[in-house]
Structure 1
Amino acid sequence: MKKSIAALAAALAFVVPTWAAVQTVTLSVPGMTCSACPITVKLSLTKVPGVSKARVSYEEKEAVVTFDDTKVNVEALLKATKDAGYPSTVKP
């Protein structure tokens, strides 16, 4: 019994909890050519699981996206805009 408790304690010592971290990224979306384009970009981003908010600006040609980094990554966001017909890049 003591050995199994010690083994369990040793195994639990290596378990590191993964905490969700809310991240925000700004994407440059230069292909938006009219005031209706942001609607499509926003829909494509908000359909990605893990995205909690997307603010898309035609004037600034950018999208500011808030997401849970345990559910989605930036590459998935870039793919979502590209698949919608609006390739994007991460703004520095």
Structure 2
Amino acid sequence: MKKIATLLALSAALSAPAWAATQAVTLSIPGMTCGACPITVRTALKRVPGVETVGIDEAQKQVIVTYDDSKTNVQALTQATKDAGYPSSVKQ
């Protein structure tokens, strides 16, 4: 009986990536200072595979990104904004 429970637990742990879910992260982008900046940031983030939505709050200089965590991660998102000329960090 213990062997079956162990095998089931191991099977669930190994198949966890198949259970990927939509995640959301808020990125702070202090360099987003003009009207064209949000367009550039949105375009850069939308090009990252797995990104579902990009919501921009220009007044707070932040973006909220929803993404499929089986296809991308926060590091890829911050790298995309950096590559576009707008370094970002995760807002705590």
- TM bucket (normalised to shorter chain) is 0.7 to 0.9
Q: TM-score, normalised by structure 2?
A: 0.82
Kept in 2, the 8 Å contact 1:51–1:68? The answer is yes
Question: What is the CA–CA distance in structure 2 between the aligned matches of 1:34 and 1:77, rounded to whole Å?
Answer: 21
Kept in 2, the 8 Å contact 1:49–1:72? The answer is yes
Question: What is the CA–CA distance in structure 1 between the aligned matches of 2:87 and 2:38, rounded to whole Å?
Answer: 13
1:15 Cα deviation (Å)? 2.6
- Is residue 78 from structure 1 mapped to residue 91 from structure 2 by the alignment? no
Q: TM-score, normalised by structure 1?
A: 0.82
1:54 Cα deviation (Å)? 0.5
**Uncovered stretches (5+) of structure 1, i.e. residues with no partner:** 1-8
- Is residue 25 from structure 1 mapped to residue 21 from structure 2 by the alignment? no
Structure with bigger gyration radius: 1
Residue 35 of structure 1 corresponds to: 35
* Residues matched between the structures, number: 82
Name the aligned partner's letter for residue 64 of structure 1: I
Name the aligned partner's letter for residue 88 of structure 1: S
Residue 65 of structure 2 corresponds to: 65
| Greater than 6 Å deviation, 4+ residue runs | none
1:68 Cα deviation (Å)? 0.7
